[in-house]
Structure 1
Amino acid sequence: MAQGTVIDGGAVDELQTSFRGELVRPDDAGYDEHRKVWNGSIDRRPALIARCTGVADIRAAVRLARSQDLLVAVRGGGHSFPGLSVCDDGMLIDLGLMKGIRVDPEGRTARGQAGVLLGELDRETQEFGLAVPSGIVTHTGLAGLTLGGGIGWVMGKYGLTIDQLQSVDVVTANGELVRASEDQNADLFWGVRGGGGNFGIVTEFEFKLNPVGPYVMAGPVFWPMEDAPEVLRFYRDWIADCPDELMTIAVQRRAPALPIVPPDLVGKLVVAVVACYAGPVEDGERVVRPLKEFGSPVLDLCRPKPFLEHQRMFDPSFPRGWSYYIRSCDVASLDDDVIDIVVERGRRITSPVTSVALWQMGGAVGRIDDGATAFSGRQAGFTFNINGNSKTADGFDAERQWARDYWSALAPHHTSVYVNFLMEEGEERVRQAYGAGKYDRLKALKRKYDPTNFFTLNQNIKPG
């Protein structure tokens, strides 16, 4: 769709007669609020926002977009780092009103619609001491996280989010509703487990549930940044033979201004290891004791707590409306050369909201056959999430450059990359995220389900 193109008002009026949700145009009240996404550096203005309440609304919106040859963005939680869940001109198909969740505690399954956020699903499943492996920020959308793979606090024990996915309902590019599982449309089911939103709009997810909590041994332990060389070498050796129940993230940042952080520590450069033990608390206390006793921590917040509380821990560090930029890569190991780079680059953090998260991979994630899903990178040792952030546009350019420089310094050690941590980096980076063999298979799948590339605003796999 050419910039500035106006959608046929008559077609929109006709859609309105049967649309149960809300159609929002640029002159309507609430338009500016509804077009916003989590990343405040993204400022785009769709020509029409279709706030869908169910499958019928989604199919109708897809048909209108096709008839008008519109660019389409699809939004679940709106947490896309590069802002792919909103567009200039075109149509935004907003699934945020679709919040249905159904938990079967006896069958240990859960169904969630495409507008559900991670915290909303956790609240329902934790009522029964169960959980779906998911991410670490509760206002992330379930849909986007799942379709890219889903890494989080209990993946060492239970694998990725997609590893517990049993079926999906999908509206395809031609407006058809199909179900995909191991037994139905198995090729599509393979593709949506890591292939993102390339093949259609997933309207509902069905997951297997796993016992977690309701209490876990979890939380961060902080040391001064000058202790980072020793802390990171200890950390590497400590987790080398850790049980699957233990998942950790090493963090570099300036200590945040939160009530739990002593005032004299706020703003100082720190390195932290955040742990979560997905098993009995008493076992977790034993396993994390060496971490808590290493060196001279300046703050220890690792303790028994509700799993729901731990899941919310990072929320204050990633609120809606700040400016976010990310660079990411996987590395095979945390060897001395990688640690030296991490230490040197971490000392250059200036923004109070910039951070690096180094995710421990392995465990159950790596034991699943790599060819079973479209997700790639199961054999990665660690995943880097390098965030160059600012609260406003002021200073954002400098933070982006810091993130790029950190990522470039790690270039000799790059292996794969997690597709959910990509910005708009081009086709070759998308190919790298999947590897050549899977990328070719995904292209063939795209030709089958979306031959015109109707769903293009994603980490796009072109059909041609």
Structure 2
Amino acid sequence: MEMVVDMDTGIVASFTEQIKGEVIMPSHEDYHRSRKVYNGMIDKSPGMIVKCVDVADVIASVNFGRENNLLIAVRSGGHNGGGLGICDDGLVIDLSGLKNVRVDTSNNTVRVGGGNLWGEVDHAIHAFGLAIPSGIISTTGVGGLTLGGGVGHLSKKFGLTIDNLLEADMVLADGSFVTTNKDQHSDLFWAIRGGGGNFGVVTSFKFQAHPIKTVIGGPTLWPIEQVAEIMAWYDKFIRSAPDDLNGFIATMVIPGPPFPEFLHNKQFCGIVWCYTGDPDKFDALFKEVLDLNPIFQHVGEMPYPSIQTLFDNMLPPGLEWYWRADFFNELGQEIREAHLEYGSKIPTVLSQMHLYPILGAASRVGPEDTAWAYRDASYAGVIVGVDPNPENRELITDWCKNYWKALHPYSAGGAYSNFMMNEGQDRVKTSYRHNYDRLVKMKQKYDPTNLFKVNQNIKP
């Protein structure tokens, strides 16, 4: 039974003295701002938020939470759909003060703090002409995205974010500090590559970066009425396209500028492209796309950080979000018809559906080589109902659930954990598939009392 943090005790005062960062209680003037996460639909009131600035703060916080039987949530960027970086009544270990990005130019490796956001990493390493595969929104936290897998623009070329993770520093449930890589605590290194925050608090990551300065990218749009036809074409095209060409397909509404006015508030089938290859070969490769006569296309050369920030302004923190997700092996007729039906009924301008290819380099890692189990799926799909207005909560949630229900029978079963809300144990098991039992063993070894349970939880 978790205890509620009690303000009256001297325990809190003596704990506060151990912390170099800041301990924020409900009476603190910064409390309400500090408890907000990216998803405005999440409204939780922790008993205490510890803004850690170093590893010592994290160790002290983990020990304090364990010794006082507190519910613990760990927050990196706070982007998680289900709000799993925050909790009611318990202790939030906030890593946002653990920020640093250090490039080793001798081997293009990058050390990143557990509280960094991807935009900060992109900015720092772009100066060296480098990039690390991550997601598609730069305000996402490095920690959550990485531990869940990391699907994005560079997945086809360089694999998931976890495929580029070389090492992590962690504070475990017993308060001990370990470095985990292929040679040290290699079983733990296996588990954190996809197993989420179940095994400890990652205070630092070491990644392999890749020489990428600019990409050719941007969106192409077709009227939603063409979605079935475009999706059938895309399914063949993206599989045969070289690893250098990635594109995720979407059903979406154009909300407004910078897009031209004739597109505003209309539904579309869109593909957002990202090409990392020889620019001289792009036109020949892309001719097939343009032959499909998109109603709009804005594809051109840009610095890599620019493609990572394309959607940042459209999707600022604090909007209401409802998420559902599945993996798909193919995009058959029933699937395409469902996308036509629900893509034509998008309820608000920011609500959308994306399908991300798990092809190329991402598919060439064995399904048991990391905890991320769906290497054989072709696409990670996600549907999000999004709107700034809490009054539209039911509208966006119902549309999202109905869209998901129409597609789910044709899915591969589980979902990418970073796209899931709090959906229960069966869903977690399905999403880890054949790796679940091994993850349970790792949980029994590294967190036998399930101290870290505010996540897509693997019960010991």
TM-score by length of 2: 0.97
How far 1:293 moved relative to its partner?
A: 3.0
Match of 1:217 in 2: 216
- Cα distance between partner residues in 2 of 1:272 and 1:408: 22
SS state at 2:261 partner: coil
Instruction: Identify which range, 3-12 or 136-145, moves more after superposition.
Output: 3-12
- Cα distance between partner residues in 1 of 2:2 and 2:40: 25
- Cα distance between partner residues in 2 of 1:360 and 1:13: 50
Match of 2:91 in 1: 91
- Cα distance between partner residues in 2 of 1:360 and 1:6: 48
Is residue 388–residue 403 contact of structure 1 (8 Å, CA) maintained in 2?
A: yes
Out of 375, 380, 383, the residue aligned to residue 380 of structure 2 is 383
How far 1:395 moved relative to its partner?
A: 1.2
Identity of aligned residues (%): 39
1:259-408 alignment runs, 5 A limit: 259=258, 261-295=259-293, 297-408=294-405
Is residue 376–residue 418 contact of structure 1 (8 Å, CA) maintained in 2?
A: no
SS state at 1:405 partner: helix
Aligned AA for 2:13? Answer: D
Is residue 51–residue 96 contact of structure 2 (8 Å, CA) maintained in 1?
A: yes
Is residue 135–residue 150 contact of structure 1 (8 Å, CA) maintained in 2?
A: yes
The answer to whether 1:231 aligns with 2:230 is yes
- Cα distance between partner residues in 1 of 2:3 and 2:348: 35
SS state at 1:197 partner: helix
Is residue 326–residue 386 contact of structure 1 (8 Å, CA) maintained in 2?
A: yes
How far 1:331 moved relative to its partner?
A: 0.9
Match of 1:70 in 2: 70
Which ranges of 4 or more aligned residues in structure 1 deviate by more than 6 Å? none
- Cα distance between partner residues in 2 of 1:258 and 1:175: 49
- Cα distance between partner residues in 1 of 2:8 and 2:171: 24
Is residue 49–residue 92 contact of structure 2 (8 Å, CA) maintained in 1?
A: yes
Is residue 253–residue 271 contact of structure 1 (8 Å, CA) maintained in 2?
A: yes
Out of 449, 455, 458, the residue aligned to residue 452 of structure 1 is 449
- Cα distance between partner residues in 1 of 2:43 and 2:372: 30
Is residue 172–residue 199 contact of structure 1 (8 Å, CA) maintained in 2?
A: yes
SS state at 1:56 partner: helix
- Cα distance between partner residues in 2 of 1:358 and 1:230: 15
Is residue 49–residue 93 contact of structure 1 (8 Å, CA) maintained in 2?
A: yes
Is residue 11–residue 64 contact of structure 1 (8 Å, CA) maintained in 2?
A: no
Is residue 3–residue 88 contact of structure 1 (8 Å, CA) maintained in 2?
A: no
How far 1:207 moved relative to its partner?
A: 0.7
Is residue 7–residue 68 contact of structure 1 (8 Å, CA) maintained in 2?
A: no
Is residue 169–residue 180 contact of structure 2 (8 Å, CA) maintained in 1?
A: yes
User: How many residues were matched structurally?
Assistant: 459
Match of 2:9 in 1: 9
Instruction: Identify which range, 286-295 or 170-179, moves more after superposition.
Output: 286-295
Is residue 225–residue 271 contact of structure 1 (8 Å, CA) maintained in 2?
A: yes
The runs of 5 or more residues in structure 2 that have no matched partner are: none
How far 1:2 moved relative to its partner?
A: 5.4
How far 1:187 moved relative to its partner?
A: 0.5
How far 1:151 moved relative to its partner?
A: 0.6
- Cα distance between partner residues in 1 of 2:431 and 2:171: 25
Match of 2:195 in 1: 195
Aligned AA for 1:388? Answer: G
Deviations 1:70-118 (A, max 9, x none): 1011000001100010111111100001111101122110000111001
Aligned AA for 1:156? Answer: K
Aligned AA for 1:45? Answer: S
SS state at 1:291 partner: helix
- Cα distance between partner residues in 1 of 2:93 and 2:282: 43
- Cα distance between partner residues in 2 of 1:237 and 1:182: 36
Match of 1:165 in 2: 165
Match of 1:417 in 2: 415
How far 1:8 moved relative to its partner?
A: 5.4
Aligned AA for 1:76? Answer: S
Is residue 3–residue 69 contact of structure 2 (8 Å, CA) maintained in 1?
A: no
Is residue 3–residue 68 contact of structure 2 (8 Å, CA) maintained in 1?
A: no
Deviations 1:308-352 (A, max 9, x none): 111111212321000001100011111222111111111111211
- Cα distance between partner residues in 1 of 2:316 and 2:105: 32
- Cα distance between partner residues in 2 of 1:216 and 1:137: 16
How far 1:201 moved relative to its partner?
A: 0.2
Match of 2:156 in 1: 156
The runs of 5 or more residues in structure 1 that have no matched partner are: none
Instruction: Identify which range, 197-206 or 6-15, moves more after superposition.
Output: 6-15
Is residue 221–residue 271 contact of structure 2 (8 Å, CA) maintained in 1?
A: yes
- Cα distance between partner residues in 2 of 1:378 and 1:332: 10
Match of 1:251 in 2: 250
Match of 1:429 in 2: 427
Is residue 239–residue 359 contact of structure 2 (8 Å, CA) maintained in 1?
A: no
- Cα distance between partner residues in 1 of 2:456 and 2:445: 18
How far 1:238 moved relative to its partner?
A: 2.0
- Cα distance between partner residues in 2 of 1:2 and 1:184: 33
Is residue 52–residue 58 contact of structure 2 (8 Å, CA) maintained in 1?
A: yes
Match of 1:45 in 2: 45
Aligned AA for 1:346? Answer: G
Is residue 217–residue 285 contact of structure 1 (8 Å, CA) maintained in 2?
A: no
- Cα distance between partner residues in 1 of 2:429 and 2:4: 32
Is residue 156–residue 247 contact of structure 1 (8 Å, CA) maintained in 2?
A: yes
How far 1:3 moved relative to its partner?
A: 7.5
The answer to whether 1:25 aligns with 2:8 is no
Out of 417, 436, 439, the residue aligned to residue 442 of structure 1 is 439
Is residue 45–residue 89 contact of structure 1 (8 Å, CA) maintained in 2?
A: yes
How far 1:194 moved relative to its partner?
A: 0.4
Gap change, CA 1:30 and 1:232, over 3 Å in 2: same
TM-score by length of 1: 0.96
Aligned AA for 1:146? Answer: T
- Cα distance between partner residues in 1 of 2:193 and 2:235: 30
- Cα distance between partner residues in 2 of 1:451 and 1:4: 22
RMSD: 1.3
Is residue 4–residue 70 contact of structure 2 (8 Å, CA) maintained in 1?
A: no
- Cα distance between partner residues in 2 of 1:286 and 1:381: 25
Is residue 4–residue 90 contact of structure 2 (8 Å, CA) maintained in 1?
A: no
Match of 2:458 in 1: 461
Instruction: Identify which range, 76-85 or 237-246, moves more after superposition.
Output: 237-246
